Structure 1
Amino acid sequence: MNNKEVKALREELLGRVDPKSKIQLEKVERYVNLVEIYYQLDKAIKDHGIMITTINGSQEFTKPNPAIAEKNKINTSLIALGKDLGLDTPVKPAGESEDDSKNDLI
């Protein structure tokens, strides 16, 4: 994820929370930080592979890349933090009223 994408993500999240709430602002920063780490782990997995070989003295064995487990933990944290920020509720497009969305159901 490049700087432009991170900035766009941060701006979108800031538009969805109360800008006066220090707690909400901190959660946005934590969410963005976790997203950056997630993609760094993704790059590490691509660079080193899904399986890695460990050499311990005369022993050599292959095991799953530990970054996969860490990526799963980050993903779980992102989902929980996203729910806390209200990201699991859809945002209405600009200009759409409550009545417009109710009419779509009929």
Structure 2
Amino acid sequence: MNIIIDVKEQELNIEVKVCGEIDAYTAPKLKERIYSYSEKQSIKMVVDLSDVNYMDSTGLGVFVGVFKNIRANNGELKLINLSDRLKRLFEITGLADIIDITSKIEGGI
């Protein structure tokens, strides 16, 4: 499965729309596309996962790394429009307690 990553940057606000599956094959592409933004000071990144129907532990690892970098640089990360399945994945791993996630936001980003 392929992955499509659309990034819109407006000063310190980064909007990311991910479509497809995030797995061992596609996670490196996601990391390559968004990781550099996480190294900037005080960014606010919103990642729309409404069109992601599958994610495995490698995908979680990308978001943990991005989250840690953003937090270390006084920024914010928010994951929005998670399916119930993705939300459950973040909950059972305990990541829902540290990363700001929202199940559904009408209209996306």
Shorter-chain TM-score above 0.5? no
The structure with more helix, counted as a fraction of residues: 1
User: Normalized against structure 2, the TM-score is what?
Assistant: 0.28
Structure with higher Rg: it is: 1
The structure with more strand, counted as a fraction of residues: 2
User: Normalized against structure 1, the TM-score is what?
Assistant: 0.28
